[in-house]
Structure 1
Amino acid sequence: MKQIITLLTVALISVTASAQTKMKEYKAGHTFNVSIPDYMNKTIGLNEDSAIEYASEVKELYGFVIYDLKEDLKMVELNFNSAKEFYDGFMKDFLKDTEKKTISNPVSKTINDINFIEADVDAFDKEANMEIYYLIGVVETKKAFYKILSWSGKENKEKFKGDFQKILYSIKD
């Protein structure tokens, strides 16, 4: 009987001690919304850092979204003061080894407190032996920076640029 009472006392003390420890709650993962045209499907294998990838194999259209939480960027001392600064940092390395490329001037917009930047990039892909059109987008929300890359053969630029823009401007968290 003494052993049972001792055991219960030890268990009660353990529970009480652990109950007094203050805990911080953290949210893991990040949720955001993006709209993709119905002729495209989610896919994998385009970019290992992406949160979502999309494609239409039939139309030869591809894209993905990568996000960087502002909180995470601060922890590694990457402090971007604006979407433009984030865009500039990304674009200095984008296709840097590609010899034949044209990058349009970036266009900035703010919609519902979300900052957007978009630019057109035409580049010759030696491996595919063709010209590729990219719509490059950067989005800044209160929580994160996003990079949205959508691309196709350059001959499809005018046909699908509007849908690529709809993907870009649908981002919200």
Structure 2
Amino acid sequence: MKITKEVLITLLSIITTFQAYSQTKFTEQKAGHIYHVSVPDYMTKSVTLNDVATMQYINSAKNAYLVIIDDSKEELEMKGIKFASLKDFHDDNIKHLKGEENDPVESKATEFEINGNKFYQSELSVNFKEKDDLEVKITYLITYVETKGYYYQILCWSLSSEYKNLLADFKKISASIRD
């Protein structure tokens, strides 16, 4: 009888513990964010272009560069940031690229929609002065994209002298984003 009593107490303890744990509700949480972009085969992955970019590609021989930064709308709102429009998102972010000392010139933006995602795209030309006062002219194709849950900044750039040769590829990259 002594063994049966111990077995019964152990069994009841296990059942009680199992029921206590099984009553706990679990909610699946998402970590990380996956999106897709078509990138030309001549570009290779990089990690040196931008500290906050989630995707970076480069081809230094062609002077072609790509950086994508994604911002969760939910995380922005938790920080008290909410944009009324994609243009507002553009206006808030473009100032970081322009810089007053760079003589920035931005083209008139075009707005369009692909697969329900909103796009706001412009070109930005800037002049950077190197340490030896050598001036480098760079042109960006800047595309801001708004999806249901995210904002994306797609920055494609090159030397201004090479930009027109890469523009078609830059536009294909920007238009291909999906999440």
Same fold (TM over 0.5): yes
Report the Cα offset of residue 25 of structure 1: 1.3
1:159 counterpart letter in structure 2: N
Q: CA RMSD in A?
A: 1.5
Match of 1:44 among 33, 44, 47: 47
After superposition, the C-alpha distances for 1:76-112 in whole angstroms (9 at most, x for unaligned) are 1211122111111111332324332211121111122
Q: 1:87-98 counterparts in 2 under 5 A?
A: 87-98=90-101
CA distance in 2, matches of 1:99, 1:78: 28
State the TM-score, normalizing by the size of structure 1: 0.92
Task: Determine if contact 1:65/1:149 at 8 Å carries over to the other structure.
Answer: yes
**Are 1:118 and 2:121 matched, yes or no?**
yes
Q: Which has the higher helix share?
A: 2
Q: Provide the C-alpha distance between the structure 2 equivalents of 1:4 and 1:129, rounded to a whole number of angstroms.
A: 84
- CA contact 1:56–1:62 (8 Å) conserved in 2: yes
Structure 2-normalised TM-score? 0.90
Q: Which runs of 4+ in 1 moved over 3 A?
A: 2-5
Unaligned runs of 5+ in 2: none
- Alignment: residue pair count: 173
Quick one: percent identity of the two aligned structures?
35
Is the 1:98–1:123 contact (alpha carbons within 8 Å) kept by the matching residues of 2?
A: no
Counterpart position of 1:102: 105
Q: What is the letter of the counterpart of residue 51 of structure 1?
A: T
> Structure 1: which 5+ runs fail to align?
none
Question: Pick from 50, 53, 57: which aligns with 1:54?
Answer: 57
Structure 2 SS opposite 1:132: strand
Indicate if the aligned counterparts of 1:82 and 1:140 stay in contact, CA closer than 8 A: no
